[in-house]
Structure 1
Amino acid sequence: MATPSSNTGPKGALSHIRVLDLSRVLAGPWCTQNLADMGADVIKIEKPGEGDDTRHWGPPFFKDEDGNNTTEACYFASCNRNKRSVTVDMATPEGQTLIRELAQKSDVLVENFKTGGLKRYGLDYESLKALNPRLIYCSVTGFGQTGPYAPRAGYDLLVQAMSGLMSITGRADGEPGGGPMRVGVAVIDLFTGMYATTAILGAIEARHHTGRGQHIDMALLDVAMAVLANQGAGFLNAGNIPQRLGNTHPSVVPYQDFPTADGNMLLAIGNDGQFARFCEAAGIDWGSGDSFRTNSARVKHRDELIPRMCDITRQRTTAEWVTLLEDKAVPCGPINNIAEAYADPQVQSRNIRVEQDRFANAPDDLQVANRITTAASPLRLSDTPTTLRHAPPSLGQHTDQVLQAELGLTRAQIDGLRSRKVL
């Protein structure tokens, strides 16, 4: 249902899809940005005067042309590229009508209100399904549409704690700095956004055969339990309750950080051949001993092996180790900060950093950034590559454009809605 992309290059894989985005913060917007990067026309509905919560989650803030802080938080840019921002107050009957009309012209709707929160506005799945049976409606909540916790609000940090993820993240209790630790980004929100993207693509494919949309129930807690992966499987099948091991791996040794002459490096030795090649390159013969020859033996004798390896790794700088091992197929690398990561030649060669101009039509008293940098989509499709069409928008940047082009409203009608504080 989307208007075809105006790009002169290849069309995005989803350039025929329109998405109505009623989500805020990270999980839902991460999903809709994925769809937008693949060409979908994403219309982001925001509350007039306030917008997405993350517009205010700063510092850090965008800077203007003079290098001064604006009022817009950088957080928002991470998950709202390629979208059109429309301000509508869904608490008003007229606002609800506008959203229903847009839903009738959309293929997908994504929302992350509390369970049942949109029913009072007539914007729940059953209400919109009656108007548009082909609509794929994705609800993202903390705990899902069913179960005793369904009414609760859920945030990434809370779910990291409840799922057990924090219990296996961080240093062990007996070590300095030991204790449960959250992951450095909102990883459950991000995983939920990715799973939601996958579910939506599956529903689109199913609709090709059935002609019908469907409701997708995405819960942060469900996702968190799923991505425990091998740690969860170890508990389910062997009864093991894993503990925090810092940067080490419960089942693979050596697979952690090591000290070097000028800092630290990361060794991720995943098999016996790699360990033997490391030993040969380092000029040691541990690879032939029974205590260290196999991974199972190395796990068993971890406490003996690791201190001996640390004595060896301290004898060279990080760069010297990387140079020594890079042609030996032994995974080794520096532990970068984010600035160093963006300066890495591999990152630069992959064009991860992308800049977009944004010509905002925001109120005169609102400082805005007109050039925004984001991390490129990692989705690399040869025939239908991801596209860059819209920079992360200013609040309500596309309101008039969308209401005129998609709903046929006149200038007088839009002015009237704005005067009544619907927009």
Structure 2
Amino acid sequence: MNAENLRAATPNIRDVDILDGVKVVEVTTAVSAPLIGRVLAELGAEVVKVESRAKVDVNRARVPRPTDPDGFPSHEAFQLLHEASASKQSVTLNMKTDRGKELFLELLADADVFIENFVPGWLDRLGLPIDYLRARFPRLVILSASGYGQTGPMRTQRSYAPVMTALAGIEGLIGYADGQVMGCSALALADLNCTFNGVFLVMAALAGREATGAGTHLDLSQIEAAATLAGEAFVEEQLQGARPGPRGNQDPDGTRWSVRRTVEDDTWVAARVVEPEPDSTPRPTREELLKRLRAKGIESACVASPQQVIADPRFRGRGYTQDIEHPHPAVGELTITSVPWRVEGAVPRVRRAAPMIGAGNTEILGRYADAAELAELEDQGVLK
């Protein structure tokens, strides 16, 4: 099903323009901060991702697979690239050059929001520290979304998803009640939590600017934000004086969950407070078990795989995923998830696939340099 047919079949997907006229510049990598830009873009903002071919976003640093056909643009096709950077424009700038730095500052002069998530200090090395940017662009909202924040002894360390959730106190809660801590949830909880904290912070700062006329600098630590996800454990240790640990399939109040296997291969049902059945009892199908449990008033649900979630008509019918066409014919159609909310009953439409690197150079940088200069800058490596 192509994007046009999907929109016709699901009329609650449409353009949302509550941020129409807002311009966002981002210098970001990976998932957490790029996804902030994508959400703002699908709320109507123009979002320009400033990149460099010398050091690409990690989601573009994908090596070709043996099955890739000749000419397949592997660095444009990684699924996370499109989950994090759909609906944007891309320009390439070598900010180690004087003209590249000038063009970057011209972009910021027209922007309302600047988002960055590299290790603190990178702007200082370019001679563009945050204090300088705030003085030069007093209405600019700047969001720095780093792993450890802009201050403190760990500020310059690199951050990865399992490290962040471990330091936030989350991994120590994962495991079986009668065993050791297992940890490693293998989910980018810190990244996604950072994303939506970042979106709300930017929206609040833009609203505040309407009243004061002044921008602000937002310092968002992914680890500190992730620690809020384990808030119950912090309170429990404070009140009881004992370190909380893994409980297996049990809520903090002692309520147990049972995960029961069905007759289908690798298919399970999760339910609250269900005694195990004797081994001699034939396993029911998933639907039979769900019907039986629900008839008894027992809260239960199937344990769904990601692919089952995507294929579930209840999710598709609400616009959980959208199909989009990539501009490169070798990539073709992509299916990505929508933002998880509605605006006046509508799911914000994914406006386009993640941009091919530098695809917006002519349109965006053409506002500040004519075609002849852009060609010259390309030859000089300024648009690297």
TM-score when scaled to structure 2? 0.86
Distance 2:169 2:66 in 1: 33
Distance 2:299 2:63 in 1: 37
* Paired residues of 2:64 and 2:74 also in contact (CA < 8 A): no
State percent identity of aligned pairs: 25
Q: Which amino acid aligns with 2:351?
A: R
Q: Is 1:318 the equivalent of 2:286?
A: yes
Residue 252 of structure 2: aligned partner? 250
1:313-333 deviation digits (Å, cap 9, x = unpaired): 975332112223457664311
Distance 1:385 1:15 in 2: 16
Q: Is 1:223 the equivalent of 2:212?
A: no
Residue 418 of structure 1: aligned partner? 378
Within 5 Å, which residues of 2 pair with 1:109-258? 109-172=114-177, 174=179, 179-258=181-260
Q: Which amino acid aligns with 1:319?
A: E
More RCO (CA 8 Å, sep 6+): 2
Residue 356 of structure 2: aligned partner? 394
Residue 372 of structure 1: aligned partner? 334
Distance 1:25 1:243 in 2: 31
Residue 60 of structure 2: aligned partner? 55
Q: 1:350 aligns with which of 306, 318, 324?
A: 318
RMSD: 2.8
* Paired residues of 2:170 and 2:229 also in contact (CA < 8 A): no
Tell me the SS of whatever aligns to 1:79.
helix
Distance 2:120 2:130 in 1: 11
Summarize the Cα distance change of 1:421–1:163 in structure 2 as closer, same or farther, 3 Å threshold: same
Tell me the SS of whatever aligns to 1:118.
helix
Summarize the Cα distance change of 1:10–1:57 in structure 2 as closer, same or farther, 3 Å threshold: closer
* Paired residues of 1:62 and 1:71 also in contact (CA < 8 A): no
Tell me the SS of whatever aligns to 1:391.
coil
Distance 2:362 2:308 in 1: 42
* Paired residues of 1:28 and 1:193 also in contact (CA < 8 A): yes
Tell me the matched-pair count.
366
Distance 1:314 1:228 in 2: 39
Give, in angstroms, the shift of residue 394 of structure 1.
1.2
Tell me the SS of whatever aligns to 1:56.
coil
Give the stretch that moved more between structures: 158-167 or 320-329. 320-329
Q: Is 1:18 the equivalent of 2:18?
A: no
Q: Which amino acid aligns with 1:245?
A: R
Distance 1:63 1:253 in 2: 49
Give, in angstroms, the shift of residue 371 of structure 1.
2.9
Summarize the Cα distance change of 1:165–1:383 in structure 2 as closer, same or farther, 3 Å threshold: closer
1:373-393 deviation digits (Å, cap 9, x = unpaired): 211121211177523322111
Give, in angstroms, the shift of residue 214 of structure 1.
0.3
Tell me the SS of whatever aligns to 2:133.
helix
Summarize the Cα distance change of 1:216–1:395 in structure 2 as closer, same or farther, 3 Å threshold: same
Task: Please identify the structure whose Cα radius of gyration is greater.
Answer: 1
Tell me the SS of whatever aligns to 1:106.
coil
Residue 46 of structure 2: aligned partner? 41
Q: Which amino acid aligns with 1:410?
A: D
Summarize the Cα distance change of 1:68–1:91 in structure 2 as closer, same or farther, 3 Å threshold: closer
1:355-411 deviation digits (Å, cap 9, x = unpaired): 212325xxxxxx95243221112121117752332211111111111111x32x111
Give, in angstroms, the shift of residue 61 of structure 1.
10
Is there any run of 5+ residues in structure 2 with no aligned partner, and where? 1-13
1:28-84 deviation digits (Å, cap 9, x = unpaired): 1121111112111110011125421111246889977x9978444222112111110
Q: 2:269 aligns with which of 265, 268, 272?
A: 265
Tell me the SS of whatever aligns to 2:359.
coil
Q: 1:28 aligns with which of 15, 33, 50?
A: 33
Within 5 Å, which residues of 2 pair with 1:85-100? 85-100=90-105
1:194-229 deviation digits (Å, cap 9, x = unpaired): 111111111111111110000000111111211112
* Paired residues of 1:47 and 1:87 also in contact (CA < 8 A): yes
* Paired residues of 2:322 and 2:350 also in contact (CA < 8 A): no
Distance 2:351 2:296 in 1: 42
Q: Is 1:339 the equivalent of 2:307?
A: yes
1:148-180 deviation digits (Å, cap 9, x = unpaired): 222222222211122221111233563xxx542
Tell me the SS of whatever aligns to 2:336.
strand
Distance 2:45 2:66 in 1: 28
1:247-291 deviation digits (Å, cap 9, x = unpaired): 432325133423345442111x4xxxxx7xxxxxxxxxxxxxxxx
Q: Which amino acid aligns with 2:87?
A: N
Tell me the SS of whatever aligns to 1:45.
strand
TM-score when scaled to structure 1? 0.79
Summarize the Cα distance change of 1:39–1:58 in structure 2 as closer, same or farther, 3 Å threshold: farther
* Paired residues of 2:181 and 2:245 also in contact (CA < 8 A): no
Distance 1:417 1:25 in 2: 28
Tell me the SS of whatever aligns to 2:60.
helix
Is there any run of 5+ residues in structure 1 with no aligned partner, and where? 1-8, 270-274, 276-305, 361-366
Tell me the SS of whatever aligns to 1:236.
helix
